[in-house]
Each structure stands twice: as structure tokens, then as C-alpha cells.
Amino acid sequence: MHLKGKTALVTGSTSGIGLGIAKAFAAAGANIIVNGFGEADAIETERAALEVLSGGKAAYDDADLTKAEAIEEMFQRAEKDFGGVDILVNNAGMQFVSPIEDFPPEKWDMIIALNLTASFHTIRHAVPVMRKKGWGRIIGTASAHSLVASPFKSAYVTAKHGLAGLTKTVALEVADAGITVNCISPGYVWTPLVENQIPDTMKARKMTREQVINDVLLAGQPTKQFVTVEQVAALAAFLTRDEAANITGANLSVDGGWTAQ
């Protein structure tokens, strides 16, 4: 329960990796601000379960992170309801798979807004409060695609490389303020984001579902296993501990050996 009394905002925590991180932080006693989209009843069930897990508070904020103003308002609510955010996890993200010449410009804009620019806004709102408290943790869910590329994912790869750069830059700016800034770069994790890109990848590469799973998704992952949400969440939880106070500006791979090649 090392996070008792701390508040964690985990963006995109109604699903997948974000929900896993929210659960790991709640298990360590943190208050949680859940964010993301989804079905109201399912979100309420998860929110209530987080309170049982932590013995603290969990709130849901429906801010659309592609909108700068919505992010600002979310931080105002966090200040009012929780006295600010101690741990920020920039996790919300989306994918779109298409050859560059057919890539819809509106999809490009949306992916850059959500997977990159949203983190600029959340970090700039979070840092002043963390500085005041002399403690903070900022974690980005980047991707193996923050280190290497794959074809047909131009916007995603661009945004994730950007997030890795933002992480390093801010880590240097706040290094003497008790705040660490890192990103975690998973390989393929079995979540709705991965499942939903299978049909488009089948189309783009003219492959069957099985071929996409084995010859595209797991082809580059030497362990031949999907990473689990719990494995990513456990690393995020470690980064919030005092033992991790000197891990900053790092891009930590959890990718079954993908980027070692």
C-alpha cells in the first residue's frame, strides 16, 4: 500500500493496459481518476471495484483527450476533488493502419492529437502541482514503435517516437524536483487495440487472420507470446516506488525481445 494518499490519473483506463495500470495502482492504495470512453455501466462497475481494491477514492472523468480545453478542465476537477495529480499515466492511444498514400489526413490528425499532443497538455498541467509537492511520477505508455517502425503505421510510429522524445526532455527539466518521467514500451499486448487492427492489416497485407497474428504481430517478438496487461502494469507500479527514484528519462521495453534484434 505504498501509494496510500496519492492520486493517480490514468488516461485511457476504461480498457486494456490503462485499466490494468489503474488496478495495480489501486492495489497499492492510490486514489484513481479513470479516464476514457466506454459503456457507462461497465465503467461504473470498474470504478467501484477500484475503490474496493484501494480503500480510497476512484472517480471517472470522461475528458476527450484530443481536445486541449477538455484536458485543462479535467485537471481543474482533479485539483478540486483530489488536491491535484501525484501520478500521471499518459496511456490513451489509438491505431490506424494504412499505406501512406491512402492515409486519411483526419486519422493522422486524431492520432497525433491523442497519442502525442495530449501528453504535452497533461504534463504541462501536472508538473506545477508535482513541483509544489516535491514528488511526482509521470509515465507514458509508448510502444516498441517508439523505437522502431513497421509499415502502414505512419501516424502511430511518428506519435510514439515523439512521446519518447517528450519523455526524455521533460525528465531533464524536472530531474531536481523529485519528479521522474519515463515511458514503457510494450510489444504486442492482447487488448482491443490490437484485436481491432487485425481486419485492416488483413486487407493491407492481403493475409488471413492467423497469418496476421503469427506472421505480423508475433513475428518480431522472439518469445512468440503476447505481453500481458499485468506485466506492463507491474512495471508501472514499480516506477512509482521510492526504489525507482533514480529511473528517469528511460524508455523501458517490455517487448519479448522485439527491439533487441
Summarize as ranges the residues that interact with ligand NAD (CB under 6 A). Answer: 11-12, 14-18, 35-38, 64-66, 91-94, 114-115, 141, 143, 186, 188-189, 191-194
Least Å from the CB of residue 187 to ligand NAD: 6
The answer to whether the beta carbons of residues 18 and 93 sit under 8 Å apart is no
Least Å from the CB of residue 178 to ligand NAD: 26
For ligand NAD, the closer of residues 56 and 187 by Cβ is 187
Least Å from the CB of residue 133 to ligand NAD: 25
Verify whether residue 60 is a known catalytic residue.
no
For ligand NAD, the closer of residues 12 and 84 by Cβ is 12
Least Å from the CB of residue 132 to ligand NAD: 26
**C-alpha gyration radius of the chain:** 18
For ligand NAD, the closer of residues 110 and 175 by Cβ is 110
For ligand NAD, the closer of residues 37 and 238 by Cβ is 37
Q: In 10 A of CB 247, how many CB atoms?
A: 15
Catalytic annotation, pick one of 60, 108, 156, 258: 156
Q: List the grid coordinates of 133.
A: 509537492
Q: Which residues are catalytic?
A: 156
